[in-house]
Structure 1
Amino acid sequence: MASPNVSALFFDYFSLQSCLIFGVSFLVIYQVFTREKPVKLPPGPTCLPLIGNVHRLGGRQMHIVTANMSEKFGGIMHINLAGMKAVLLTDLQIIREAFLDKTDRFSDRFRIRLGEYIWGTKGSLIYENGNGWKSHRRATLRALRNFGMGKRSLENKINEEARCLARSFEDENGHPFNPQPTVQNAVANVICSISLGSRYDYDDPEFRSLLDYIKVFMSERSGPSLLSVFPKLWFTPFYKSLRKQSVKCISFLRGVVEQHKATFDSNDIRDIIDVHLQGNDEEGGSDEKLPQSLIWRGLFDLFAAGTDTTSNTMLWGILLLTQYPRVQEKVQQEIDDVIGRERPPTLPDRLHLPYVDATLMEIQRFRPVACFVPPRAASVDTELLGYSIQKGTNVWINLYAVLHSPEHWKDPEEFIPERFLTADGKKTETPEAFIPFGLGRRICIGEQLARMELFLLMTNLLQRFTFEIPKEDPKPNLAGKHGITLSPGRFRICAVNR
């Protein structure tokens, strides 16, 4: 047998060892020079595989859970939503830095895939970005002002709707009833008069179907829900009924736009639809003009957001006044002293009704219907409080945390309208932390309209009625139901004539 070549074996071994060392060294050096630089993320909870932090966000009480999490991680947190990076802001000064001082970097809207599946984002007042969105927002805001937002011209329409609402309450003859449908009808009709050019009877089936869809979608969905994390579930049989309602809603609004096109007169601009029709062609559009085929999309945002938020604020107001009868009595006494019970309230009356105004502000602080504003997105790689925020990162604001922070509010879990009054009680004052409509470029476009509606509708009702919970009903749960908006659970009231 031939003896092994020791020299060959040695060099074979040496060559193999050298190749391995060279290969490993090359990979290490390659990784060092080619990998992304480490990003300094804000602190946050530990993630689980696949689902990230979704399990920790509390479902229906997500606004409270994340507010409590900030006590451990601070006013800026990094969270993972099933693989999607998100930054959550709960501290007022950090929010102001992002959306006021660095507004150019944080004014984009984060596009939610579910919304793209259902309605699309083109033409949206809420989810579109860029010059098209800016022009669309300016045009809509101008139209809202032209049709009376913040002016006496709209006051009469709201007061007339308040009379219809009061008649509906009177028809109950002091017996227990659920106020939600009629309050929603009244608020929606104010939006309709501006955007669609008409109001609808409370029992109109198409109108009622549209409102039911808005109520279900805005109140029953919570984020991050299973549907928002896995939006393709929208096309499964589980959501068949909601899909049908969505199609009916879109068809209704498109139908109204078509009716307007058939009767359009450039010398008689009736509402927001006509404003968008003026000078537009069927599909053209531009950065300055919204194409006719997308007018319905902006109307949906205006109608859905405006109806759901203001009607829920009204319902919270009614419910809270039943639980705080001392506040209700003081509000009614001030109304009696300043206005009486005969004439309807006017917008200038607000200056002379500081306790009424303070109570409305406390309702919005105590139970803000928009606990989270629709998420923003970083438009460029940037920094916030020394932390790296990468382009496209989902940025949330927890308004509930700001409005319930002990740093800004004494006894934040107590319902105290006096916190908004000057020391002599003769005027209201607005603390920096009172931001129920958000702030920055994306502040709620309908803030003035909502404030008008809330003041005139609530004052009209409290002139006529005292609200009570039926004696046979259990004490209402004031925690609320958090979907896209925070709504009170179902409750009944007795509207007792004064």
Structure 2
Amino acid sequence: MASVLSQLMGQWIDVQGLLIFLCVLLLVKHLRDVQSKNMPPGPFPLPIIGNLINIGFRDPLGSFQRIAERYGDVSTLYMGNQPCIMLTGYESFKEAFVEQADIFTDRPHFPVNDKLTKGKGLFMSNGHMWRQQRRFALATLKYFGVGKKTLENFILQECCCLCDSVQTEQGLPFDPQCLVTSAVANIISGLVFGHRFEYDDHQFHLMQKYVDDMLQLPISNWGRLYNQFPALMSLLPGQHQTAFAGMYKLQPLLQEEFRKHKEERDPSNPRDYIDCYLDEIEKCKDSEAEFTEENLMYCVVDLFGAGTETSSTTLRWALLFMVKYPDVQEKVQSEIDQVIGQTRQLQMDDRTNLPYTYAVIHEIQRFANIITFTPPRVANKDTTVRGQLIPKGVMVLPLLKTILQDKNEYSTPYEFNPAHFLDENGMFLKKDTFIPFSIGKRMCPGEQLARMELFLFFTSLMQRFTFLPLDGQTLSLKGSISVSSGPEPFQICAVPR
């Protein structure tokens, strides 16, 4: 019996030794493979899972920033077995996206985005189709008044609707998210659909929910898992399935809008983006530009989502900061009272006479930093940034947060401080490195619209209301992890002035 046990133990030790030897062999091969790629510096990736442990699930955005601080403006991370290069710092952004703009215009391939949009639309498409769709969108938005007085008046009308709705809360506690989101969504709705929606419109809220689910998925843990294991995740329930289902439910709502536009439109007098796009479908002879009704649907989703998400999230942070920092709110209101008063409707031209208010809006954008990462890119050929190799086809992650918290640009980068945008005479101080909308050919096409919305909505609310916390309440400044980092749900009181 003893001899049998001894023989079995010997066999087990042999098997165990063989397994250890194979693991060491694989680890050595993995190490050589990583080193042979001559990638920029970064934490050592483990086989299969890459730098998943370094990034984690609890605080991935903080992990990215700590990695950037340790390894520099150009560093490498592995998402599973796939390397990606993280860019931080204004000079890196400028060198890549401005000086080498034509090399960094493409988006990487993601299974989750292919599932949602089939590689179409405005923001995740590539090549000739993307260039033509973006050109058309910019020209159409400009045609309908972006940056002009006509759109300013439309936004001011919506400001009145928002303020009237806030007034109905009668100074009692309320969550501003629904009202603010609906007000901002109505601006892009006017440009895209040609009409606004009432704030209690059920279909309006359904559209917002479906688009929001789609926007949140790519950066969520569910989206990350789907990108790593698409075949497996397609069989499993989860947030990804909710987003996919939302896209299918959204399609008939948009198709009904298209149907109405076809029936009512006058080609000689287009009313909105959809009318112009339907005209372009008929006129365009360039099949590779893909002006089709299917692409129209994805472009509308992109415009509606992006045109709502960033501005509404920034405005919710604005209200939260004003409650959290009442001395700033008081200074803003004092300046508004001196320049505009409490009865005259403001105008965009008032901006130059409201330097403190304008500085506060910029500091809200900087401190909230709602877009930690701008959407990823890939280089279309081997190149270098800051002296580091960027191989063709490797995903590039642009980390915007470090630019908005640059210690060389901002005296108190981790504090809310409007003085960051004021000179010694109290006048507004423009900073070239302030790029919340990114830079280059892929920068946000709605920057002008967003700037106008933020100024008019914020100043209108400050003119009419004082925002206060609930008695005994301590408001959190913790942000959510999503495509744009918004505040956690909160309630405040809006007291008429």
Q: TM-score normalized by structure 2?
A: 0.88
Q: For 1:416 and 1:58, locate their aligned partners in 2 and report how far apart those are by CA, in whole Å.
A: 31
Relative distance call for 1:221 and 1:494 in structure 2 (3 A) is farther
Contact 1:155 1:347 survives alignment (8 Å): yes
Contact 1:283 1:293 survives alignment (8 Å): no
Structure 2 residue corresponding to 1:198, chosen from 195, 201, 204: 195
**Aligned residue for 2:103?**
105
Contact 1:257 1:295 survives alignment (8 Å): no
**Aligned residue for 2:254?**
253
**Aligned residue for 2:118?**
120
**Aligned residue for 2:173?**
176
**Aligned residue for 2:76?**
78
Which segment drifts farther, 251-260 or 369-378? 251-260
Q: For 1:441 and 1:387, locate their aligned partners in 2 and report how far apart those are by CA, in whole Å.
A: 22
Deviation of 1:215 (Å): 3.4
Residue 86 of structure 2: SS of its match in structure 1?
strand
Contact 1:63 1:401 survives alignment (8 Å): no
**Aligned residue for 1:210?**
207
Contact 2:111 2:226 survives alignment (8 Å): no
Which segment drifts farther, 51-60 or 291-300? 51-60
One-letter amino acid of the counterpart of residue 259, structure 2: E
Q: How does 1:84-95 map to 2 (within 5 A)?
A: 84-95=82-93
**Aligned residue for 1:237?**
237
**Aligned residue for 2:127?**
130
Deviation of 1:429 (Å): 2.0
Contact 2:119 2:125 survives alignment (8 Å): yes
**TM-superposition CA deviations, 1:159-178 (whole Å, max 9, x none):** 11111111111111111111
Contact 2:213 2:246 survives alignment (8 Å): no
Residue 219 of structure 2: SS of its match in structure 1?
coil
**Aligned residue for 1:354?**
355
Deviation of 1:313 (Å): 0.3
Deviation of 1:59 (Å): 3.5
Cα-Cα RMSD: 2.2
One-letter amino acid of the counterpart of residue 128, structure 2: N
Structure 2 unaligned runs (5+)? 1-32
**Aligned residue for 1:375?**
376
One-letter amino acid of the counterpart of residue 352, structure 1: N
Q: How does 1:449-460 map to 2 (within 5 A)?
A: 449-460=449-460
One-letter amino acid of the counterpart of residue 211, structure 2: I
**Aligned residue for 1:189?**
186
**TM-superposition CA deviations, 1:425-466 (whole Å, max 9, x none):** 13x222232110000100000000000001101111111101
Deviation of 1:468 (Å): 1.2
One-letter amino acid of the counterpart of residue 319, structure 2: I
Relative distance call for 1:464 and 1:235 in structure 2 (3 A) is farther
**Aligned residue for 2:138?**
141
Deviation of 1:217 (Å): 4.1
Structure 1 unaligned runs (5+)? 1-34
**TM-superposition CA deviations, 1:19-63 (whole Å, max 9, x none):** xxxxxxxxxxxxxxxx99943210011112211112322436333
Deviation of 1:237 (Å): 2.6
Q: For 2:472 and 2:157, locate their aligned partners in 1 and report how far apart those are by CA, in whole Å.
A: 33
Residue 314 of structure 2: SS of its match in structure 1?
helix
Relative distance call for 1:305 and 1:382 in structure 2 (3 A) is same
Q: Is the counterpart of residue 440 in structure 1 residue 440 in structure 2?
A: yes
**Aligned residue for 1:416?**
417
Relative distance call for 1:189 and 1:285 in structure 2 (3 A) is farther
Deviation of 1:221 (Å): 6.0
Q: For 1:292 and 1:99, locate their aligned partners in 2 and report how far apart those are by CA, in whole Å.
A: 31
Relative distance call for 1:486 and 1:245 in structure 2 (3 A) is same
Relative distance call for 1:496 and 1:91 in structure 2 (3 A) is same
Deviation of 1:359 (Å): 0.4
Deviation of 1:341 (Å): 1.1
Which segment drifts farther, 318-327 or 216-225? 216-225
Q: How does 1:144-155 map to 2 (within 5 A)?
A: 144-155=141-152
**Aligned residue for 1:67?**
65
Aligned-residue sequence identity (percent) comes to: 37
**Aligned residue for 1:44?**
42
Deviation of 1:222 (Å): 3.3
Contact 1:281 1:292 survives alignment (8 Å): no
Q: For 1:234 and 1:150, locate their aligned partners in 2 and report how far apart those are by CA, in whole Å.
A: 43
**TM-superposition CA deviations, 1:101-136 (whole Å, max 9, x none):** 1112111112322011122122x1111111221111
**Aligned residue for 1:496?**
495
Residue 482 of structure 1: SS of its match in structure 2?
coil
**Aligned residue for 1:483?**
482
**TM-superposition CA deviations, 1:309-352 (whole Å, max 9, x none):** 11000000000111111110111111111111112211111111
Residue 43 of structure 2: SS of its match in structure 1?
coil
**Aligned residue for 1:19?**
none
Relative distance call for 1:47 and 1:172 in structure 2 (3 A) is same
Contact 1:59 1:222 survives alignment (8 Å): no
Contact 1:39 1:388 survives alignment (8 Å): no
Deviation of 1:203 (Å): 1.1
Q: For 1:337 and 1:394, locate their aligned partners in 2 and report how far apart those are by CA, in whole Å.
A: 51
**Aligned residue for 1:323?**
324
One-letter amino acid of the counterpart of residue 447, structure 1: E
**TM-superposition CA deviations, 1:217-247 (whole Å, max 9, x none):** 4357635633343344255332443333221
Q: For 2:417 and 2:178, locate their aligned partners in 1 and report how far apart those are by CA, in whole Å.
A: 28
Q: For 1:294 and 1:163, locate their aligned partners in 2 and report how far apart those are by CA, in whole Å.
A: 34
Q: For 1:234 and 1:420, locate their aligned partners in 2 and report how far apart those are by CA, in whole Å.
A: 48
Q: How does 1:463-474 map to 2 (within 5 A)?
A: 463-473=463-473
Which segment drifts farther, 82-91 or 281-290? 281-290
Residue 496 of structure 1: SS of its match in structure 2?
strand
Residue 201 of structure 1: SS of its match in structure 2?
coil
Q: For 1:111 and 1:430, locate their aligned partners in 2 and report how far apart those are by CA, in whole Å.
A: 36
One-letter amino acid of the counterpart of residue 252, structure 2: S
Structure possessing the higher radius of gyration over alpha carbons: 1
**Aligned residue for 1:9?**
none
Deviation of 1:155 (Å): 1.0
